[in-house]
Structure 1
Amino acid sequence: MTTLFISDLHLSPNTQDITACFVQFMRNEAIHADALYVLGDLFEFWIGDEDRSEFALLIKNEFKTLVASGVPCFFTQGNRDFLVGQRFAKYTGVQLLGDETVIDIYGRKAVVLHGDTLCTQDTQYLEFRAKVHQPWLQWVFNKIPMFIKKKIVAKVQSGIRDEKEMKSLDIMDVTPSEVIRVMEAHQVDLMIHGHTHRPDVHTFEINNHPMTRIVLGDWYQQGSVLVVNDSNYDLQTRPFFNQSI
């Protein structure tokens, strides 16, 4: 059996190829797993749990069916879907995790997170993150009519695209000292995260102790899945197919 990890799918009604690959993954692969972990940015932008669109219902029902089949599913909010909340969890059966969570993977402890908080050089983003994670601001946003929310989100997404074009790749990558701090704080030798869109397995040492940091890939051109069993781990890709859902 295996435990599966995914992140940075950036699903939206406009990405039929990604959505089709995700649906196939859920129905043909995740259904056979011990557990599924989604480490943020499942959506290009989750506008709120009250979204009743056909697309939102499709994605929620995939999780609901998976959990009902007996596969536990865990979800860490990313920078694009920080509004995924308790109503989403109640409907789907997904268990929401905190920003940093220590889990046991076949006897080995690991800390899992989205990864955005590791990018400490990107101070502009971290300031934005602190603002939008304020409970009172999220409460206010959730009370706004859906058509106004969509306009706000469209403006935010445009601003994000413009900012990314101006930022260096180094700023948007993790800060090594923050990686070490988090791993030491949780007393683990394995970290799994997404966010940077740079899939890789990094090995290093802290005080002569071997450490591993696994970075999940995005789903822009192909699916990306970390497959873990009781003896090893493997970063794998999944091809897109021209298919309807």
Structure 2
Amino acid sequence: MTHLFISDLHLSPDRPATLDCLLDFLAGPAREAERLYILGDLFDSWIGDDDDTPFNCRVIAGLRALTDAGVGCDLMHGNRDFLLGRLFRRETGCRMLRDPTLITLAGEPTLLMHGDLLCTDDLAYQRFRRRVRNPLVQRLFLFKSLDGRRALAADYRHRSRAAMAEKSAEIMDVNQDAVADYLRRFGARHLIHGHTHRPRDHEITLGDRQAHRSVLAEWTEQGGEVLAHRNGVWQREPITPT
């Protein structure tokens, strides 16, 4: 029984090698798994399911081939692709996960998150997140033309890069109290998330019990990483371009 976890691919036409790496992974190693979990930011930007560019169609076709092969694929919204909707689910065969979602692997309660909810010290971002996740705001955005949405998305990416350049590394990382709170709230022993682009495994003491936190790696044009769970054993495996 193999379960695979990835996040933060930030797929974009500007980085074609990252897509090629993903498609090779979906057609190869991912086929040996029972289930693939993509924990947010599959795309660097998603402006609506009606944006049927050739690039997006290649991603959809790759995911559809995986699910048609019998591999389950669970997808969580990230802070860049929270507009992935019903048409995308139907075309890919993926199942959307709530953030957070609790699963059980080998008897261990495991909490899955994108990770941005844990960055509670970044107050400006949390305000922005609440605003753009409002269904009314999303509907108004989707009423705009594709060109209008592309322009707004490009402006958001520009503003986001500028804002991140002014923030300290500590503010953009997770808050440890928030991590402990989510683990306690869901009764989880293991937390898996992405978003921060700081891949590492952390041990956490919660009163009289131990828990651990696995941070997933960002994918680039040089490759990526998958966190694999096989028969009760966790390991990180590199994904390199062919």
Q: TM-score, normalised by structure 2?
A: 0.97
2:63 match = 63
Distance 2:95 2:50 in 1: 18
Q: Shift of residue 2 of structure 1?
A: 1.2
Distance 1:240 1:186 in 2: 37
Q: Does 1:162 align with 2:165?
A: no
Question: Structure 1: which 5+ runs fail to align?
Answer: none
* CA offset digits 1:18-64 (Å, max 9, x no partner): 11111111000111101000000111111111111001111011111
Aligned-residue sequence identity (percent) comes to: 37
2:201 match = 201
SS of structure 1 residue aligned to 2:172: coil
Q: Shift of residue 231 of structure 1?
A: 2.0
1:125 match = 125
Distance 1:25 1:106 in 2: 25
* CA offset digits 1:89-133 (Å, max 9, x no partner): 111111001110001223222010100000000011111100000
Distance 1:131 1:97 in 2: 20
Q: TM-score, normalised by structure 1?
A: 0.96
Give 1:147-226 correspondences, 5 Å limit.
Answer: 147-220=147-220, 221-226=222-227
- After superposition, the CA RMSD in angstroms is 1.0
SS of structure 2 residue aligned to 1:161: helix
Q: Does structure 2 retain, via aligned residues, the 8 Å contact 1:216–1:235?
A: no
Corresponding residue pairs, total: 241
2:240 match = 239
* CA offset digits 1:177-199 (Å, max 9, x no partner): 00000010000110000000000
Q: Shift of residue 229 of structure 1?
A: 1.5
Give 1:34-183 correspondences, 5 Å limit.
Answer: 34-183=34-183
The letter of the residue matching 2:129 is: R
Distance 1:185 1:52 in 2: 40
Question: Structure 2: which 5+ runs fail to align?
Answer: none
29-38 or 203-212, which deviates more: 203-212
The runs of 4+ residues in structure 1 deviating greater than 2 Å are none
Q: Shift of residue 235 of structure 1?
A: 1.8
Q: Does structure 2 retain, via aligned residues, the 8 Å contact 1:106–1:229?
A: no
